Amino acid sequence: MAWWGKTTLHSGVAALALGLTAVSCAPPVPHDGATVSTTAVAAPHQDPGESVAQKLAALTDEVQDTHGGVAGVAVATRHGVVQAGDPGRWHAWSTVKVPIAVAAATAAAELDGNADVDALIEAAITRSENMPAAELWQSLGGGTSAARQLEDLLAPYGGIDALSLATEFSPTPIGLIAWPLAGQAEFSSYLPCLPDAEVVYRAMGEIVPWQVDGLGSIEGMHFKGGWSAEEDGGSRPYTYRQMGALETLGGVIGMAVLVHPEDGEHATAVQMVGDLAAGLEEMVEADLLPAATICTAI
């Protein structure tokens, strides 16, 4: 299972402009164990980020015109975090299992490791099982304790609001947490650099075959998806979103995509994320998405 029930809740997070935005990518607060470098690239006639933004806008427009519904994409590159289409201030569903797993792995490492936590991470990420993810949440203390740890982890990457849901939805609000695409893409670009995240990152490269589509079709991608029907229907009857990290010779590119197919069908959503991923892969091959981060072990 990769969903957490149905809901009408729509919770906002960090302020991101609607539609097409380009956000500068200052390096987040350094993490112990690794240094991360970002390099700005200048162009004499056009901001490279603007060129990427234009191509992403064309890509989301094409996907929406072809399939109907709503599409959004964000990439973290050396030009910053560039976003087009829907900003994705919507339920994270199972994509939020990634930072929860990272937080749990970090907490376990402070206790000199925990094989049970590694097994829960493997199940929650590779097979997107909900109960192991809920156990990871509870390993962080559950409720406001887990919410604060998740917020602290993601604060350098745009942030999320988990505390407001922690007490309202018990025992876990996991799937309902809103996480904008820009934040997902930036976090993904740093994921291979984070201490104690190795087990999570490895699991993202070992997703079960029936869940490999969209970003997962790009060779070398480490990714996680999340999907669910939305109870209130309307213009967003169904959500499918993915986040991923792609290691290249130049470093790591972070990506995030989201679709709300007009017909509310998962099969249509898979086609939509597939088209978004194909467009992103073409941009990678054309060297239009230079790596955002380079991890250097200390």
Pick from 83-97, 149-163, 202-216, 225-239: least confident: 225-239
CB atoms within 10 A of CB 167: 11
Q: How far is CA 80 from CA 8, 185, 186, 209, in A?
A: 33, 10, 9, 32
In this prediction, residue 57 carries a pLDDT of: 97
Residue 31 has pLDDT above 80, yes or no: no
d(CA 138, CA 145): 9
**Residue boundaries of the structural domains of the chain:** 21-297
Instruction: Report how far apart the first and last C-alpha atoms of the chain are (Å, whole number).
Output: 39
The mean pLDDT of 217-239, rounded to a whole number, is: 89
298 vs 43 pLDDT, higher one: 43
In this prediction, residue 44 carries a pLDDT of: 45
In this prediction, residue 43 carries a pLDDT of: 39
Question: How many Å separate Cα 7 from the centre of its chain?
Answer: 20
| Mean of all residue pLDDT scores within the chain | 83
Q: Using an 8 Å Cβ cutoff, are 241 and 95 in contact?
A: yes
Residue 205 has pLDDT above 80, yes or no: yes
The mean pLDDT of 178-192, rounded to a whole number, is: 96
In this prediction, residue 38 carries a pLDDT of: 32
What's the farthest any 2 CA atoms get from each other in the chain? 54
Q: Buried (b) or exposed (e) across 57-68, using 16+ Cβ within 10 A?
A: bebbeebbeebe
**What are the pLDDT digits (tens) for 39-80?**
333 334 556 667 899 999 999 999 999 999 999 999 999 889
Phi then psi dihedrals of residue 163, to 5 deg? -60, -35
Residue 17 has pLDDT above 70, yes or no: no
Task: State the Cα torsion 270-271-272-277 to the nearest 10°.
Answer: 90
Q: How many residues does the chain have?
A: 298
**What are the pLDDT digits (tens) for 243-284?**
999 999 899 999 999 999 999 999 999 999 999 999 999 999
In this prediction, residue 50 carries a pLDDT of: 77
pTM: 0.83
User: Which DSSP category does 205 fall into?
Assistant: T
Instruction: Quote the CATH superfamily of domain 21-297.
Output: DD-peptidase/beta-lactamase superfamily (3.40.710.10)
Question: How many Å separate Cα 106 from the centre of its chain?
Answer: 19
Residue 24 has pLDDT above 50, yes or no: no
Residue 285 has pLDDT above 70, yes or no: yes
In this prediction, residue 109 carries a pLDDT of: 87
d(CA 117, CA 119): 5
Q: How far is CA 137 from CA 5, 97, 145, 271, in A?
A: 17, 9, 9, 32
Task: State the Cα torsion 76-77-83-89 to the nearest 10°.
Answer: 10
Instruction: Note the helical H segments in the chain.
Output: 48-67, 97-109, 115-126, 130-139, 143-154, 163-166, 181-190, 198-204, 266-285
